[in-house]
Amino acid sequence: MSAASQPRIRCEPRRERQVVLRRFRVFLLLIALCMAVTVAVGRPSVWAVFLVPLLVGTLGFYELGIDGSLMSAVPWDGLIALALFTGCGLLLGRVLRRQRQREDRLAAGALHDRLTGLYNYGTFADLLHREVSRADRYGGRVTLIMLDLDRFKRFNDRHGHEAGNLLLRSLGELLRGLVRDADIAARYGGEELAVVIRGDELDGVLLAERIRAAVLTMRIPVDGEEAYVSVSAGVACYPDGAADEAELVEQADAALYVSKQAGRNLVTGHSLGLSRDGRRRAAAERRLRAVASG
């Protein structure tokens, strides 16, 4: 072997290491760019953009890694590549997970009232329409309960709006604990709430009575004392007492008005409370007394 060729052989590992470093820097740049796009766009579909340089980089490191002289010269390349790929995958997973959680929170915020945690009016209208359509298609009854806090304006004027907000939050929490998973509890507007259940008007009256009794036990801490409130309710049923969802809301609201006019802290069923069918009213009253005594 000539003396002229000897230095060339000794410089070969150094040249290969320079190639590795150049490819490594390019790969890091691609990863950084793809992660920046992922964060900026915030879409899981950007995963494909990230996956291409990841695969290319993997193949590049694999091709370099099978060279025995290179591995002997740089023995940590394989571990570095594995750590890099794992770290990038974990980072991307975290970004996508946060994006999914943010989208879930936005979706929940679009469906729910922020103060009470109940469905908002728009969601209530959509779900009521769905329940009425289901009853038309498969049969059954849909009952609407309209609830209104008694003298809520006086409560606000006396204790302040923060206390009023606390009252609405407490009422929302109470309502979520009393209804079933299949029921729909919503903030209809202001201090007025609505509950949609699958069942007849008597079922709605019984649930409304449980809600009315539970509200009386609520205590709202304000200004070093405990304030209490009451609620009035009106109940109507589809299709027994209404021809469509709009009339169902009107009938429940009319029954609520009767409760207000009769002295508040009352539950009125539209057909049970306003009709002349004495037997149905008597049966309802007996069941209500049984619930109250039990």
What confidence score (pLDDT) does residue 279 get?
Answer: 41
Residue 33 lies in a domain: yes
Same-domain pairing of 289 and 143: yes
Show which of 80, 110, 140 is a domain's final residue: 110
> Tell me: the pLDDT tens digits for 99-121?
777 766 656 557 889 899 999 99
Paired tokens of 64:
């370099």
Same-domain pairing of 164 and 95: no
Render the burial of 20-36: b for 16+ CB within 10 Å, e for the rest: beebbeebeebbeebbe
Same-domain pairing of 174 and 257: yes
Paired tokens of 233:
């309710």
Same-domain pairing of 90 and 20: yes
> Tell me: the pLDDT tens digits for 243-285?
999 999 999 999 999 999 999 999 999 987 654 334 444 455 5
Instruction: Report the amino acid identity of residue 102.
Output: R
Rounded to an integer, the average pLDDT of 198-207 is 94
Tell me if 253 sits within 8 A of 234, measured CB to CB.
yes
Residue 83 lies in a domain: yes
Share of the chain above pLDDT 70, in %: 59
Residue 67 lies in a domain: yes
In terms of pLDDT, which residue wins out, 221 or 193?
A: 193
Task: Measure CA of the first residue to CA of the last residue in the chain; give whole Å.
Answer: 106
- Kindly give the residue spans of alpha helices, DSSP state H, lying in 197-276: 201-216, 245-261, 270-274
What confidence score (pLDDT) does residue 271 get?
Answer: 85
Rounded to an integer, the average pLDDT of 47-61 is 54
Tokens 């009521």 — which residue?
128
Residue 116 lies in a domain: no
Instruction: Report the amino acid identity of residue 155.
Output: F
What confidence score (pLDDT) does residue 94 get?
Answer: 74
Assign 21 a pLDDT band (cuts: 50, 70, 90). Answer: confident
Same-domain pairing of 187 and 262: yes
Same-domain pairing of 39 and 160: no
Show which of 81, 110, 139 is a domain's final residue: 110
- Answer whether the bond into residue 239 is a cis peptide, omega within 30°: yes
Provide the domain limits for residue 49. Answer: 5-110
Read off the DSSP letter of residue 236.
E
Torsions phi, psi for 148 (to 5 deg): -140, 130
Same-domain pairing of 38 and 151: no
Same-domain pairing of 196 and 79: no
Rounded to an integer, the average pLDDT of 118-141 is 93
> Tell me: the pLDDT tens digits for 170-195?
999 999 999 999 999 999 999 999 99
Residue 282 lies in a domain: yes
> Tell me: the pLDDT tens digits for 65-89?
444 444 444 445 555 665 666 666 6
Tell me if 214 sits within 8 A of 208, measured CB to CB.
no
| pLDDT for 90 beyond 80 | no
Tokens 């007492």 — which residue?
241
Q: Domain count for the chain, please give it.
A: 2
In terms of pLDDT, which residue wins out, 45 or 159?
A: 159
Residues present in the chain in total: 294
Instruction: Work out the mean pLDDT of the chain and round it to a whole number.
Output: 77
Q: Which long-range contacts (CB under 8 A, 24 or more apart) does 290-294 make?
A: 291/206, 291/209, 291/210, 292/209, 292/213
Same-domain pairing of 75 and 168: no
Residue 115 lies in a domain: no
What confidence score (pLDDT) does residue 127 get?
Answer: 93
| pLDDT for 224 beyond 70 | yes
**0.85 exceeded by the pTM?**
no
Residue 167 lies in a domain: yes
Residue 153 belongs to domain with CATH number: 3.30.70.270
What confidence score (pLDDT) does residue 291 get?
Answer: 58
Same-domain pairing of 282 and 136: yes
Residue 25 lies in a domain: yes
Paired tokens of 190:
């202001």
Rounded to an integer, the average pLDDT of 13-22 is 68
Residues tagged active-site: 191
What confidence score (pLDDT) does residue 222 get?
Answer: 85
Paired residues of 189 in beta bridges: 192
Same-domain pairing of 68 and 126: no
Tell me if 198 sits within 8 A of 130, measured CB to CB.
no
What confidence score (pLDDT) does residue 142 get?
Answer: 97
Read off the DSSP letter of residue 117.
S
Show which of 62, 82, 110 is a domain's final residue: 110
Same-domain pairing of 208 and 253: yes
Q: Collapse the DSSP code of 246 into the 3-class scheme (helix H, G, I; strand E, B; otherwise coil) and give the result.
A: helix
Assign 225 a pLDDT band (cuts: 50, 70, 90). Answer: confident
133-135-136 Cα angle (round to 5): 65
